Amino acid sequence: MAALTRERILQTAVRLADRDGPDAVTLRKIAGELGVHVTSLYNHVPTRDAVTDGIVELLLDEAKLPTGPVAWDDWIRQFVEGVTGIAATHPGAFHALRQRPVQGARATASFEVALTALAEAGFSRTDSFAAVKTASYLALMIGMERSMVARGELLETQLDDLPEESFPLVRSIATDVSDYEYVWSFSVDTLVAGLRSRLT
């Protein structure tokens, strides 16, 4: 049997979440998957929150977020694409990013890069922080939608009962231009444009 390590425990947690949903990730179920007693996990992940923090760390590693010098607008695009990409590949585990704030040096490194790029471009410290937070909000919201699409669980407003004469535009949008990829890209473009306008 392979040695019990923090990495192995967290990878098992990610697989559990993707297979059975985020609520399935408990220390007891992780131990069962690994064929060990639950107390064997405590030296590596003492609490459920520690597991969640570790899942976030693994996912952000996989997202390949920028960790070296990059332009602020490129950081936003790469960050959103990276975070939402893991929502598509890990639709169950992605839920962890909504449960806990980012912890630890590995998971936080890309935010330092972003703040540096924004400051060098001329953004104030307050606006730089707000820009990173806004990019994070956007990535999480798009990620939630992408994870639902990946699981086949995306819920849509039922429009069939709405009279067409009262809702002609809503009805036409739903049938003609409901392109999620376009909406996600539009959202990122709009954020970048809005931030750029603050510099001028």
What is the structure's pLDDT at 149? 87
What is the count of structural domains for the chain? 1
50 domain-assigned: yes
Q: Which helix (H) or strand (E) holds 178?
A: none
15 domain-assigned: yes
63 domain-assigned: yes
CATH number for the domain including 13? 1.10.357.10
Find out whether 51 and 30 touch, Cβ atoms under 8 Å.
Answer: yes
Helix count (H) and strand count (E) of the chain? 9, 0
1 domain-assigned: no
Find out whether 23 and 15 touch, Cβ atoms under 8 Å.
Answer: no
Domain boundaries, position 22: 6-199
Q: Summarize the confidence of residues 150-162 as an average pLDDT.
A: 79
Residue 50 corresponds to which amino acid? A
State the Cα torsion 69-71-76-82 to the nearest 10°: -40
CA distance linking residue 109 with residue 104, whole number of Å: 9
Condensed to tens digits (0 to 9), the pLDDT of residues 102-122 reads 888 888 899 999 999 999 999
For 82, half-sphere exposure in the C-beta direction (CA atoms, 13 angstrom radius) is 21
Closest among 157, 126, 136 to 83, alpha carbons compared:
136
Alpha helical stretches, state H, 122-179: 125-151, 168-176
User: Could you say which DSSP state residue 104 is in?
Assistant: S
101 domain-assigned: yes
Condensed to tens digits (0 to 9), the pLDDT of residues 48-94 reads 999 999 999 999 999 999 999 999 999 999 999 999 999 999 999 99
Has residue 176 got a pLDDT over 70? no
105 domain-assigned: yes
CA distance linking residue 36 with residue 40, whole number of Å: 7
Q: Summarize the confidence of residues 111-135 as an average pLDDT.
A: 97
110 domain-assigned: yes
Condensed to tens digits (0 to 9), the pLDDT of residues 28-45 reads 999 999 999 999 999 999
